[in-house]
């Protein structure tokens, strides 16, 4: 893609977030990985230990002529609970915190604006705690984490946690989902 941009989101388990963003028109790739910590080349086991400071994230490459960054933000906020600190469902720890790692000043502004609008409209019963931070080094997670849902769709976690998020995506954002 000529004008490809990068977005980085942390919204709990990266398997869930990756499954959603990989189904969108205008998205050319989604990689699961880690960002925001203090250990170089962390492993999944290290990050899950909770003492590296990393967040489970996805790096999304997208064409803004097909899907806008604001659309990605809207989807991001609809597929996880941005009001819980360091937790998504039964996943608990700093590695599961809600975070947007911006790659430009425009992304930072759009993320801050989206949070302010959602808080002002009281879409969520509690204030949004999503961190908005500059993107740092992205560390790709181990191969078995990539396209996890597509490779393991019959596993219980995929059926009970990820599949409902995909159904919600298809229902709420059907015009953005690949045919």
* Residue the block writes with tokens 């204030």: 127
What is d(CA 4, CA 1) in angstroms, rounded to the nearest whole number? Answer: 5
Instruction: Check residue 176 and report its DSSP letter.
Output: G
What residues contact 125, with CB distance under 8 A and at least 6 apart?
Answer: 83
The residues annotated with a catalytic role in the active site are 13
* Residue the block writes with tokens 């170089």: 40
- Structure-block tokens of residue 159: 């059926």
Report how many helices (DSSP H) and strands (DSSP E) the chain contains, helices first: 7, 8
């Amino acid at each position: 893609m000529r004008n490809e941009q990068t977005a980085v989101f942390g919204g709990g388990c990266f398997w869930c977030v990756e499954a959603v963003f990989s189904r969108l028109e205008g998205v050319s790739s989604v990689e699961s990985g880690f960002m925001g910590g203090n250990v170089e080349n962390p492993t999944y086991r290290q990050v899950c230990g909770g003492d590296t400071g990393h967040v489970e994230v996805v790096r999304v490459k997208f064409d803004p002529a097909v899907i806008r960054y604001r659309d990605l933000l809207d989807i991001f906020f609809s597929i996880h609970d941005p009001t819980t600190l360091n937790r998504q469902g039964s996943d608990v720890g700093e590695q599961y915190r809600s975070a947007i790692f911006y790659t430009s000043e425009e992304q930072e502004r759009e993320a801050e604006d989206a949070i302010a609008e959602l808080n002002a409209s009281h879409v969520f019963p509690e204030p949004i705690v999503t961190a908005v931070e500059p993107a740092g080094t992205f560390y790709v997670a181990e191969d078995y984490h990539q396209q996890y849902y597509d490779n393991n769709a019959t596993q219980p976690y995929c059926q009970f946690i990820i599949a409902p998020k995909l159904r919600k995506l298809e229902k709420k954002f059907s015009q953005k989902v690949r045919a």
